[in-house]
Structure 1
């Protein structure tokens, strides 16, 4: 067993780390530099949280800025009502907006926020309206990273790419990315962009954590092949990897929703207790291990982590440490990789 070290200029987060400076990484092979931990803004404006209003949102964003987080990821569908997260984030950043990277997403159902979409949320007409709305709510003149939130299977990817390319050339968008695409869809978009001469996607935001490693099969290899930076979300698997849940115990003062209760009832507690022991033996928290494992993938540019309290933000920001090859092998024993699809 080795003792993990906090990432620094001389002890990178991984043995082949893509860090350009301590705590900062390039977004794939693009020139955009982001913090290795980003603030996921899905809780800004979310009902039932302390970040549902401006005071709570301001406190969390302020904590992120103070902790050195430079990457803020939101979407037009986040918040108790669509668009609220973007509005709160833009107001909270204020004059410091130019010092950070603001990413947002479009493509989910937002109940007519961007006008009637008729299910064609990858169309030129819809994309232009969605971007104009996001710019207005964020209070900015450009979006640093615009991401297609989910594939639009009814609209040709050529149309989507050309619309995004026009927005880049107009200066309203600087970089483009996508979310929730399969490996073959990543490859398809890359080859189409090359063929028609448009801007290419620079990032892939996908579900990845120790409990769900399916993205390692084809998404991460595709991202590596085409130079995309991976932005994993749900790094703590809905809290199961956070250490706040224990077998047979509900967190103090918590009110478990039906879905969360089901999650705890179906959890593999033997596995989670082995995970807790692994972290304890190395003087780490479960959160530090979960984030550090994600950051150990060279394709990962920033771990997207949501928070509702300033202290959570500070904890997340300093969570990434260097894991040795022995540590990673031990984690493979606890959380086996997903079975391969191909025979070889």
Structure 2
């Protein structure tokens, strides 16, 4: 029995015939069994356990790079369906950032806001679901000092509607790594479970 993976087609280029073949994506239930709980692994050297596969939410709500400069209800439903399908499939590790779906982009909705909304709605129907969230601090030139990191984290938590995140990362490492390292080392900040330092 075949299990239809999706309605999309995989395009394969055959160099011998110089043609593009359209192959419908299918998988055998024997090869790709349906799972409800993904095996978790330790993230790096920490004790944090996450699913082997994580979902990046950069495109959710973004209009500056993704989504043809527009965000509408159809795309919102598609993002929510992707979130729910991921959780249904056992993938519960999501990565976002404060700058995904930036307020500086016309018509954008912040990715953290959408992810937080999806988590909240999912928990209403399934209170036992555990979702691990990773988000990032954007070390922009005008955000100097460790207080900038802490303020940004609190703002991210507000958008996500969470009291903490599993992983808080420095976006674009190289700008101000010392500021971020110092912020976490000196504050032993409790809004993250694992901060990597």
| C-alpha contact 2:170 2:180 (8 A) present in aligned 1 | no
User: Are residues 1:163 and 2:183 paired?
Assistant: yes
| C-alpha contact 2:54 2:94 (8 A) present in aligned 1 | yes
User: Are residues 1:46 and 2:58 paired?
Assistant: no
Match of 1:244 in 2: none
| C-alpha contact 2:61 2:71 (8 A) present in aligned 1 | yes
Offset at residue 38 of structure 1 (A): 0.7
Match of 2:142 in 1: 118
Offset at residue 37 of structure 1 (A): 1.1
| C-alpha contact 2:38 2:89 (8 A) present in aligned 1 | no
Match of 2:94 in 1: 72
Q: Scaled by the length of structure 2, what TM-score is found? A: 0.64
Point out where structure 2 has 5 or more consecutive residues left out of the alignment: 1-29
d(CA) in 1 for partners of 2:153, 2:118: 20
Residues 224-263 of structure 1 mapped to structure 2, 5 A cutoff: none
Q: Which protein has the bigger helix share?
A: 1
Question: Are the structure 2 counterparts of residues 34 and 156 from structure 1 closer, same or farther at C-alpha, using a change threshold of 3 Å?
Answer: closer
Stretches of 4+ aligned residues off by more than 2 angstroms: 5-8, 21-24, 46-57, 80-83, 95-98
| C-alpha contact 1:142 1:173 (8 A) present in aligned 2 | yes
Match of 1:102 in 2: 133
Question: Are the structure 2 counterparts of residues 51 and 41 from structure 1 closer, same or farther at C-alpha, using a change threshold of 3 Å?
Answer: farther
Question: Are the structure 2 counterparts of residues 147 and 67 from structure 1 closer, same or farther at C-alpha, using a change threshold of 3 Å?
Answer: same
d(CA) in 2 for partners of 1:106, 1:98: 26
Residues 178-193 of structure 1 mapped to structure 2, 5 A cutoff: none
d(CA) in 2 for partners of 1:63, 1:7: 15
Question: Are the structure 2 counterparts of residues 106 and 40 from structure 1 closer, same or farther at C-alpha, using a change threshold of 3 Å?
Answer: same
Point out where structure 1 has 5 or more consecutive residues left out of the alignment: 9-20, 110-116, 178-199, 201-344
Q: Scaled by the length of structure 1, what TM-score is found? A: 0.38
| C-alpha contact 1:46 1:52 (8 A) present in aligned 2 | no
Match of 2:195 in 1: 176
Offset at residue 24 of structure 1 (A): 2.3
What is the CA deviation profile of residues 35-83 of structure 1, one whole-angstrom value per residue up to 9, with x for unaligned ones?
1111100111023279755433221111111111010000011115367
Secondary structure of residue in 2 paired with 1:99? coil
Offset at residue 91 of structure 1 (A): 0.3
User: What RMSD in Å do the two structures reach over aligned CA positions?
Assistant: 3.1
Question: Are the structure 2 counterparts of residues 138 and 119 from structure 1 closer, same or farther at C-alpha, using a change threshold of 3 Å?
Answer: closer
Aligned length: 150
d(CA) in 2 for partners of 1:97, 1:74: 22
d(CA) in 2 for partners of 1:59, 1:7: 20
User: Are residues 1:140 and 2:162 paired?
Assistant: yes
Q: Which protein has the bigger strand share?
A: 2
| C-alpha contact 2:169 2:195 (8 A) present in aligned 1 | yes
Secondary structure of residue in 2 paired with 1:104? strand
d(CA) in 2 for partners of 1:91, 1:171: 23
